[in-house]
Structure 1
Amino acid sequence: MTSFVFGSLPFSNQGGDQIVSKAVSAAIAALFKRTGKLEAKVRAEPVAKLLQGSIDGFDFIGNGMLMYNGLRIEAMELYVQAVSIDFSAIFTGQVKLRQPTQASLRVILTEEDLTTSFNTPFVVEKLQGLQYQDQSLHFQNTQMILNDDKSLRLKTAIRVGEASEPLDVDMTAFLNVEDRSKIQFINVTYQGSEEAQELGKALIDHVNNLMDLDKFALEGTQIKIDRARIKDQQIVFYGVAQINQFPQKKPK
């Protein structure tokens, strides 16, 4: 019966698990402006369970993922627990959950990813939300460096208000995860002139207030980070994603 149903679908020589795997991969790819390799593998035993929308879980691995806001992710892994889906929606290119599910999560950001992200209009606009001494800030050439001692160095040139010359702000900090939802720069040391150091302190306070993961999560999801690790010019985040509904690309 199962082979008869799947054999009548418009996908030659593909099993139900392959059909769903490809649909999940395509739905995730649609959330990004550009991607490298993406692969989702659905687990269902027996495969006939798929007809009722029952999945034992699925594994997703992707790399080179560029978000529409300009942020880039070197690699992401999701290992989703048992889930129930609307099987009929698969053939319209959508993944619809019948109930919330949870996934273990691993995300890798490179030093280059971080530097690129801090120079995107999306992040620069948020940074320039800081008013310093009642004056606006203008950021140039922000650079993120991941050190061998697991610290992170932030260098940037900031022009305050109508000043003709920018201040060179140079700070080194360690990462800390608070309440599983906030990434914070702690134990910060500042370089440069006294004026640059004061500006750096104000900037760190501002950035720490911005780094609430709930502000960056895709619609219908909530991310909790258990651990952040810096090694080999990469930051690796380990945590879980609560998925209440499968996120969809918003129309422009």
Structure 2
Amino acid sequence: MFSGFANAQGSMQTDFGEQMLNTVASQSIRRMFSQSDSVEVTIRCFPSSKLLQGSVDNVKMQGRGLVIKRQFQVEEMSFETDAISIDFGSVLGGKIKLKQPTQAIAQIVLSEEGINKAFNAELVKKRLDEVWLSEETGIDEPVSFEDISIALLPGNQVEIQAKVDVPGQDLQIPIALRAVLSVERRRRLLFAEATFLADRIPEAVRDLSAQMTSDFVALLNDMVDLDRFDLDGVALRINRVETQQQRLLFSGYAQIDRFPGA
């Protein structure tokens, strides 16, 4: 009788601990984002008594309608960790402290609309304003790339159109290109095999537009680096990128050094 009562009490404690861990983990992960429509976290620990020693089988997260750094929209993000070891005492204080870093399989989904909005984000616009072009253009003052729009196409292809504003010369040159998305060193998105779409550009400025398009591609290839968008304690790496209708899917992993706020 007393043994059964003791086992029941121990089960209640570990169940309570698992519920608390789920709550704390959800709150911690939400802190990574400026905004979120939903963040669901599931902690798996079997038997649950392992939790008292800080041993967790894995953590799963599914988030929708996320905003990173108040400017970058993510339609969906999910990850699932390996087994992790935590300081259970930190959970009682409302935090999760990892005893050692862990990795997680991750997937991120961006919408075409969200990508286009990102071009208007302050962090991105800073890189698109006051840009010096190559000498081949014959323009010896900084320009700005404006009205950028991207269309996601099958086969990892994208089409991009923009305008180049040349201050002081009352010039606004349209540019247009098609490229194939690829990944470099698991952290940088490249616009490879870029092709100038001459038929989209008036003949009078076609040569100048072609050179500006080349400069724009070089600028993009230097911009989209995940190290610039790391979350608090979480570094993302890409293994694969894929276009699906009006969505862009990234598959890779996350290196989790600490939970946010820990």
With the length of structure 1 as denominator, give the TM-score of the two structures.
Answer: 0.88
Q: How does 1:1-252 map to 2 (within 5 A)?
A: 4=9, 15-128=16-129, 130-132=131-133, 133-191=139-197, 192=201, 193-248=206-261
The DSSP-based 3-state class of the residue aligned with 2:231 is coil
The DSSP-based 3-state class of the residue aligned with 1:78 is strand
- Higher share of residues assigned helix: 2
The DSSP-based 3-state class of the residue aligned with 2:96 is coil
CA distance in 2: counterparts of 1:160 and 1:91, whole angstroms: 58
CA distance in 2: counterparts of 1:111 and 1:203, whole angstroms: 19
CA distance in 2: counterparts of 1:220 and 1:37, whole angstroms: 21
**Structure 1 residues 93, 164: CA separation in 2 closer, same or farther (over 3 Å shift)?**
farther
**Structure 1 residues 190, 71: CA separation in 2 closer, same or farther (over 3 Å shift)?**
same
Identify which range, 50-59 or 149-158, moves more after superposition: 149-158
CA distance in 2: counterparts of 1:68 and 1:6, whole angstroms: 41
Unaligned runs of 5+ in 2: 1-5, 134-138
**Shift in Å at residue 91 of structure 1?**
3.6
**Structure 1 residues 90, 130: CA separation in 2 closer, same or farther (over 3 Å shift)?**
farther
Q: Give the paired residue count.
A: 245
CA distance in 2: counterparts of 1:42 and 1:107, whole angstroms: 20
**Shift in Å at residue 15 of structure 1?**
2.9
CA distance in 2: counterparts of 1:106 and 1:44, whole angstroms: 23
The answer (yes or no) to whether the contact 2:130–2:144 under 8 Å persists in 1 is no
The DSSP-based 3-state class of the residue aligned with 1:166 is strand
**Structure 1 residues 110, 88: CA separation in 2 closer, same or farther (over 3 Å shift)?**
same
The answer (yes or no) to whether the contact 2:158–2:180 under 8 Å persists in 1 is yes
**Shift in Å at residue 45 of structure 1?**
0.8
CA distance in 1: counterparts of 2:162 and 2:7, whole angstroms: 60
The DSSP-based 3-state class of the residue aligned with 1:247 is coil
**Shift in Å at residue 231 of structure 1?**
1.0
Runs of 4+ in 1 over 4 A off after TM superposition: 1-9
**Shift in Å at residue 69 of structure 1?**
4.0
Unaligned runs of 5+ in 1: none
With the length of structure 2 as denominator, give the TM-score of the two structures.
Answer: 0.85
Percent of aligned positions that are identical? 27
CA distance in 2: counterparts of 1:105 and 1:114, whole angstroms: 19
The answer (yes or no) to whether the contact 2:35–2:70 under 8 Å persists in 1 is no
**Structure 1 residues 149, 82: CA separation in 2 closer, same or farther (over 3 Å shift)?**
closer
For residues 157-198 of structure 1, the C-alpha deviation after alignment (integer angstroms, 9 at most, x for no partner) is 221233324221211111011222221001111132221221
Structure of greater Rg: 2
For residues 25-47 of structure 1, the C-alpha deviation after alignment (integer angstroms, 9 at most, x for no partner) is 11111221110111000000111
